[in-house]
Structure 1
Amino acid sequence: MRGPGAIVANHASWLDIFALNARKRIYFVSKSEVANWPGIGWLARATGTVFIKRDRKDAANQINVFQTRLEAGHKLLFFPEGTSTDGLQVLAFKPTLFAAFFADGLRETMRIQPVTVKYLPADGVDPRIYGWWGDMDFGPHMLATLAASHQGAVSVRYHAPVQVRDFANRKDLSFAVEAAVRAGLSDDR
């Protein structure tokens, strides 16, 4: 995707950061608590992650931060599900962060590219092996994933970008990109 834009993807695991950053330089958007998590927090800070507070009172500030970064040419990536999953499903997208894309100066030029991240385990391996969700501890999950005797693969599918100006509001935009991401997860590849 060329020009001003952001990327939205489903979120299955801490592995998503590596899978999505491998192809192009992007800046992740994450909840502020992640900055202080052992291991992942350091990685997030080192890669220029934009940390936001999940508080409606801070919504205007978040829009300003997004707008500043987007106008500087940064490609922001966020996970609108708001949490990670087992990798076999896409949760409903939360439309709140999409409001930033409707700001004056962005709406007319901004594009959003939906991306589906799909983990493909080796034959006979639990298809949820790469998912990191719920109250799973990071350390044991990372070790189990890296030590698995049969490694699978990851597929990153970039769907056609959509123009923000083609949508009446953040909810319509959110539903459209969610549908693209969800369809990509159900594709047999």
Structure 2
Amino acid sequence: MDKTWHGAIMPPADPPGLAGWLRAIMRAIPLIILVFGGLLVLLLMRLFERPLCGMRRPVTPYITQVVCRTAFVILGMRYSSDGQPLSGAGAVVANHASWLDIFALNARKRIYFVSKSEVADWPGIGWLARATGTVFIQRDRSALRHQITVFRQRLAAGHRLLFFPEGTSTDGLQVLGFKPALFAAFFDPALRDSLQMQAVSVVYRAPSGADPRFYGWWGDMAFGPHLMTTLAAKRQGGVHVTYHAPVQVADFADRKTLAKALEDQVRVGLAQHRAT
């Protein structure tokens, strides 16, 4: 079972005030229209895409990508990236700091998230996750065989699968140890010899004068207040995404060495970008 990281408690945010509420409303309205309007267009496209292409999604991931990139424009957050995203089928791993990671990781490259099965039943978020092709898994050994089968099917369809090996979110200032168990499926003989994996570092810059953990969402922090604080901010910061060089799973002896190598890449990327 995943353990939630609590870390240091974030100081309570100051009440937004009238100006903050107005900023939140001015950002929330177009953001809601963007997300759910994009969802409607995506679902309409899937009516034609599904019977014609089956599991392959040649069109709808571009809708998700446009929505996520535009979301940062509405929020007023800077978005930047470097490195070359993985091409073709494969798996991607990243550090996890915020609900904003979904937008940051979808903004440049078409990916499919791997998430715990409980997320499918979350109101709102679960609907969006299912519509955008999220892979839902049960993280226990009894489900490993089924998990491998699902991964094989999705990778055969050319999908790039992304998961968070820390198993929890943090304040965005650190990288927790990657859980080797989450890499077990990729060492199946049907996947190991041909599979590439890529590490990605997601680095948030807080607004000027704000707590460096401003965009972090962890522990028992409620989604609603965190969303409100983000929407109401007078000044916004930014997010930078670094794509590291892909590695071949077959080049590693076991899941522990693979997990550690990818963790090190993510950790170095976070430290380097925070130092600039």
TM-score, normalized by length of structure 1? 0.96
- Is residue 4–residue 109 contact of structure 1 (8 Å, CA) maintained in 2? no
- Aligned residue in 2 for 1:5: 90
Aligned-partner Cα distance in 1 for 2:136–2:257: 25
1:4: Cα distance to partner?
Answer: 2.9
2:211 and 2:189 map into 1 onto residues whose CA distance is 47
2:238 maps to which residue? 153
Q: CA deviation at 1:37?
A: 1.9
Where do 1:1-189 residues align within 5 Å? 1-187=86-272, 188-189=275-276
Q: How far is 1:163 from its partner?
A: 0.8
Deviation at 1:88, TM superposition (A): 0.7
Structure 1 runs not aligned, ≥5 long: none
2:213 & 2:242 partners in 1: Cα distance?
Answer: 19
- Equivalent pair of 1:115/1:157 in contact (CA under 8 Å): yes
**Cα displacement string for residues 6-41 of structure 1 (whole angstroms, at most 9, x for unaligned residues):** 110000011000000011110000111111223322
- Supply the distance in 1 between the matched residues of 2:207 and 2:228 (Cα, whole angstroms): 17
Distance in 2, Cα, partners of 1:77 & 1:54: 15
The whole-number CA distance in structure 1 between the counterparts of 2:226 and 2:123 is 14
Overall identity of the aligned pairs, in % = 70
SS in 2 for 1:6: strand
Say which one has the larger Rg.
Answer: 2
CA distance in 2, matches of 1:2, 1:50: 19
Deviation at residue 107 of structure 1 after TM alignment: 1.4
Deviation (angstroms), 1:157: 0.3
Q: Indicate conservation of the 8 Å contact 2:88/2:160, yes or no.
A: no
Q: How much is the aligned-residue C-alpha RMSD, in angstroms?
A: 1.1
The DSSP-based 3-state class of the residue aligned with 1:106 is helix
Q: Distance in 2 between matches of 1:126 and 1:38?
A: 30
The amino acid that maps onto 1:13 is S
| TM-score, scaled to structure 2 | 0.66
Shift of the alpha carbon at 1:84? 0.8
Secondary structure of 2:189's counterpart equals: coil
Which stretch of structure 1 is more off in the superposition, 83-92 or 51-60?
51-60
Judging by fraction of residues, say which structure has more helix.
Answer: 2
| AA at the equivalent of 1:78 | F
Contact 1:6 1:77 in 2 (8 A): yes
Distance in 2 between residues matched to 1:21 and 1:181, nearest whole Å: 17
1:97 Cα shift? Answer: 2.2
Secondary structure of the equivalent of 1:84? coil
Q: CA offsets, 1:103-127, max 9 Å, x none?
A: 2232122110000000011221111
Alignment coverage as a number of residue pairs: 189
Secondary structure of the structure 2 residue equivalent to 1:59 = helix
Partners of 2:88 and 2:159 within 8 A in 1? no
